[in-house]
Chains A and B, each alone.
Chain A
Amino acid sequence: MEIGAYSFGDTQFDSSGEQTDTAGAVRNLYEAIVHADAAGLDYFGVGEHHTASMPASSPGAMIAAAAAATKQITLGSAASIISTDDPVRVYQQFATADAIAGGGRIEITAGRGSSVETFPLFGYDLADYDELYANKLNLLMTINSSADAVVTWRGARRPDIPGLAVVPRPAAGRLPIWLATGGNAGSSARAGQLGLPVSYGIIGGAPHRFAPLAELYRRSAAAAGHTGDGIKVSVAALGLVAPTKQEALDRFYPGWHNLNVEMGRLRGWPAPDKSAFLAQAEAPGAYYVGDPDEVAERIVHLHGYMGHMRHFLQMDIGGLPHEHLLESLTLLATEVKPRVERLLARER
């Protein structure tokens, strides 16, 4: 089981409670990825969001920089909002990072995004939501499957490509392309039909309720004739690891509160409720907030339902102090991961 992290960037607050600069959030994120690599974490996912509090808008640029400064960690987008981007450009950026990393450590995760902020930003019409996604994903897969770098593509919502080169090519010939979903059944079926690995973003409710979706994914893949190593599941969730459960709760709650206040202002929600937070932070809730023992046990519990091969956490939200992020990354790599492996070995 791979253990990892993901982040949309997390703009810090200064001592007077004012939000600091977004460039600082980008530097922190870069430092966190380098730190995670040195600690032995398996995976780090980046972006994509476009807000002042979550400014990791350019996963390709961040991953290329991190590729040069890391040795072993797998780097990917989490997720690339492919509907409103140019798949040729996304592919070129990640293939460039792959070359810098020496090959084999770079992945693309394609999603629609849980918010619609990229549509007005890049000038797309929400009415084309489904058509954009289907066409752009198809183009991304077409580029990836080209044997000789020459791409011929016809479709909608983007000009055709009449046999043009898309370079550089990944060292291994292909990049892993994942499909991200928040739990829509049709997306699980689509990932299976396309033979793509699937990444579930589970941000609320009991995570094991996603088990039927993983089954739907695997059966859809089998029905379409897709088998082998490419058919796999990962889970992205919120969480934080600290030496003790109480410290983890105390460290994570203020940022969770800040984020919910901000979203509430935008979406017309009431003030966040601490009892709701605490309920989600206990098994079988959605937040993997705890000491290494508890977080490891809950990951293994979910594994019994999902059979996932990677579990990765978003920890830096709402201005989580940077040192708490770094410590959590260390604990994930050095304390949670060995416990997960031990528990899984016992089950076999």
Chain B
Amino acid sequence: MNSSASELRGASPRREASPRREASDLRTIGILGAGRVGTAVARQALKAGFEVRIATAKPVEEIAMIVEIVTAGAVAVDAPDAAAADLVVVAVPLHKYRTLDPELLAGRTVIDVMNYWSPIDGEIADFEDDPRTSSEVVQDFLRGAALVKTLNHIGYHDLEEDGRAPGTPDRRALALAGDHPEAKELVAEFIDQLGYDPVDAGPLAAGRAFQPGTEIFNGSHTAAQLRALLSTASQPSHA
């Protein structure tokens, strides 16, 4: 997630995300990583009524107090229990992505919130030397997972403030990209429950349009605005 540009924006009056949940079986969210991004996603998911499990590389007892105080209502678990949730959110620092266990995540629907943003986080050879988007590199590593790139282009402060009920005029939209249609459907429902209009950007490679440095990454957009920006981004260049 981008942390800084959008932090500078003012706080908006808070409204709860929509509490409706009938249609699907999406109930549990597993979050890998208890940093600023992981805990913000956890709090927003709790607010939307999900059951949230958080795991890090550390033993449960070491993160129990963090989870209890910073994400009250969530449960600290070991990584296999987080990975067994209906939906898994990977929110570790990108340079640690190889510490994830591909076997644990095989067959799971996984949200990749991570960004390769070298001016902030420094250069990482795996991404610097690969022309693909960071999420394609991560999908390659998590071979059996159904990866969806989203939640990476909203600041972690904004995530907890900008959410609105479905149908609210000017509701903020979030793009999602992935190569697995069913996974995207599940993630779209999650995004909607968090308080945002999900907009399908296309295959995972289309996530290039909302990586760091892009207009989508830098701003806040409605679904219509986001679709227009995504459509511009997918036009072949004149070069």
Residues of A at under 8 Å CB distance from B?
115-116, 119-120, 126-127, 129, 183-186, 189, 203-206, 209, 212-213, 215-216, 219-220, 223, 260, 263-264, 266-270, 272-273, 275-280, 284-286
With a CB–CB cut-off of 8 A, which chain B residues contact A269? 4-5, 218
* B119 lies within 8 A of A219 (CB): no
6 A-B contact pairs sorted by A residue (CB < 8 Å): A116-B122, A119-B122, A185-B39, A205-B11, A216-B65, A260-B8
Q: Given A185-B34, A285-B11, is A268 in contact with B66 using a C-beta cutoff of 8 Å?
A: no
In the complex the two chains form, what is the Cα distance from A205 to B36 in whole Å?
13
- Cβ–Cβ contact A212 & B9, under 8 A: no
User: What is the bound-complex CA distance between A116 and B94, given in angstroms?
Assistant: 14
Q: Contacts A127-B95, A204-B4, A285-B10; is A266 near B69 (CB within 8 Å)?
A: no
A183 partner, pick from B10, B11, B36, B95, beta carbons under 8 A: B36
User: Which of the listed residues B8, B213, B217 has the most CB atoms from chain A within 10 Å of its own CB?
Assistant: B8
B224 at the interface (CB under 8 A from A): no
Query: How long is the Cα–Cα vector from A280 to B157 in the complex, in angstroms?
Result: 13
Contact A267 B8 (CB under 8 A): no
B124 at the interface (CB under 8 A from A): yes
Do the beta carbons of B70 and A185 come within 8 Å of each other?
yes
Contact residue among B9, B65, B123, B219 (Cβ-Cβ distance under 8 Å from A189): B65
Residue of A120, A267, A272 ringed by the most chain B CB atoms within 10 A = A267
Q: Find chain A residues with CB under 8 A from B34 CB.
A: 185-186
Inter-chain CA distance A209–B11, complex, in Å, is 12
CB B14 to nearest CB in A, in angstroms, measures 11
Please report B residues at the A interface, Cβ cutoff 8 Å.
4-5, 7-11, 34-36, 39, 56, 65-66, 69-70, 93, 95, 117, 119-124, 157, 212-215, 217-219
Chain B residues near A204: list those with CB within 8 A. Answer: 4, 7-8, 157
Q: Which residues of A contact B10 (CB under 8 A)?
A: 275-276, 278-280, 285
Indicate which residue in A115, A129, A268, A285 contacts B95 across the interface (CB closer than 8 Å): A129
Contact A272 B8 (CB under 8 A): yes
User: Which B-chain residue is minimally distant from A223 (CB atoms)?
Assistant: B65
Rounded to whole Å, the gap between the CB of A280 and the closest CB of chain B is 6
Residues of A close to B9: CB separation below 8 A: 273, 276, 279
Further 5 A-B residue pairs, CB within 8 A, beyond A219-B69, A279-B9: A127-B124, A185-B70, A204-B4, A267-B120, A276-B9
Docked pose: A284 CA to B34 CA in angstroms = 26
Instruction: Tell me the bound Cα distance from A129 to B92 in angstroms.
Output: 14
- Chain A residues with CB under 8 Å of B120's CB are 115-116, 267
Residues A277 and B8 in contact, CB atoms below 8 Å apart: yes
Best-buried of A266, A269, A273 by chain B (most CB within 10 Å):
A269
Distance to closest chain A CB from B212 (angstroms):
6
- List the A residue with the shortest CB-CB distance to B12: A279
B121 contacts A116, CB within 8 Å? yes
Report which residue of A212, A272, A275 has the largest number of chain B beta carbons within 10 angstroms of its beta carbon: A212
Q: Is the CB of A267 within 8 A of B66?
A: no
Most B CB atoms within 10 A — which of A183, A215, A278?
Answer: A183
Task: Decide if B8 touches A216 in the complex (CB within 8 Å).
Answer: no
Contacts of B5 in A (CB 8 A): 264, 267, 269-270
Q: Looking at the complex, which one of A129, A206, A215, A270 makes contact with B218 (CB distance below 8 Å)?
A: A270
The answer to whether A220 and B65 have CB atoms under 8 Å apart is: yes
Kindly state the separation between the CA atoms of A98 and B79 in the bound complex, as whole angstroms: 47
- Docked complex Cα distance between A120 and B69 (Å): 36
- The answer to whether A280 touches B8, judged by C-beta atoms less than 8 angstroms apart, is yes
- Report whether A184 and B35 are in contact in the complex, using a CB–CB cutoff of 8 Å: yes
B219 partner residues in chain A, CB cutoff 8 A: 270
Residues of B within 8 A of A285 (CB): 10-11
Task: Report the bound CA distance from A264 to B34 in whole Å.
Answer: 28
Q: Which residue of A lies closest to B214 (CB)?
A: A268
Inside 8 A of A280's CB, which chain B residues have their CB? Answer: 8, 10
Question: A115 vs B4: C-alpha distance in the bound complex, in angstroms?
Answer: 12
Query: B151 to chain A: closest CB distance in Å?
Result: 18
Ranked nearest first, the 5 interchain pairs of A and B with the lowest CB-CB distance are A279-B10, A204-B7, A268-B213, A116-B122, A126-B122
What's the least CB distance linking A253 to chain B, in Å?
Answer: 12
**A264: which B residues are within 8 A, CB to CB?**
5
Complex CA distance for A269 and B35, rounded to whole angstroms:
23
Among candidates A203, A215, A263, A268, residue contacting B69 with C-beta atoms closer than 8 Å: A215
Q: Which residues from chain A contact B39 at a C-beta distance below 8 Å?
A: 185
* Cα of A42 to Cα of B163 in the assembled complex, Å: 42
CB distance from B25 to the nearest CB of A (A): 30
Neighbour of B65 across the interface among A219, A263, A267, A270, CB < 8 A: A219
A10 to chain B, nearest CB (A): 19
- Distance, CA A184 to CA B39, complexed state (A): 9
Contact B95 A267 (CB under 8 A): no
